[in-house]
Amino acid sequence: MAFQISRETNIDAPRDRVWAYISDFAKHPEWAEPKHHLRVTPPERTQPGAIFRSVGKDMGRDSRNEVTITEVVPGSRLVYEAQQDDGTHWRNVLELSDEAGGTRIVKSDALISSRFPMNVVFTLLGPIARAEGAKVFDRDLQRIKSRVEADGAAVRS
């Protein structure tokens, strides 16, 4: 099933500051879509194999996730997979690179698998879901950008 979303933006901050923010899962609710009311029990360490749990509102109900960090390249790439309680399995990727005196961040999600009824929803409503997901990603990236740049301004003051 090929359902993927990828969005990117530039942040006026060094890569190490962006990395420190995005790799701290306790901060994830600060930048995740507010209507999801995300609650995260962060892992003790951001390392491959670390498992943690999250709960967020999805389509009006609590969606519980077991999340496994699968890849960590400090300062560059963070990959984690979420297994939702409805059987939906997502791969989430955050990638950083240097860009014009700051940092480019790319946020991507790929649907790995899903069960009925979500497999039907993604098949029938894929283009609409992808467009809505892109809007959510753009807002998430804007919140990351705002937080990291504001933190940098506070450091410079």
Domain ranges of the chain: 4-156
Is domain 4-156 in CATH 3.30.70.260, yes or no?
A: no
**Gap between the Cα atoms of 36 and 54, Å rounded:** 11
The long-range contacts involving 24-33, CB below 8 angstroms and separated by at least 24 positions, are 25/52, 27/147, 28/54, 30/143, 30/147, 31/140, 31/143, 31/144, 31/147, 32/56, 32/140, 33/136, 33/139, 33/140
This prediction has a pTM of: 0.90
pLDDT at 126: 79
Mean pLDDT by 10 residues, the chain (157 residues): 88 97 96 88 95 85 92 98 91 96 96 79 80 93 97 63
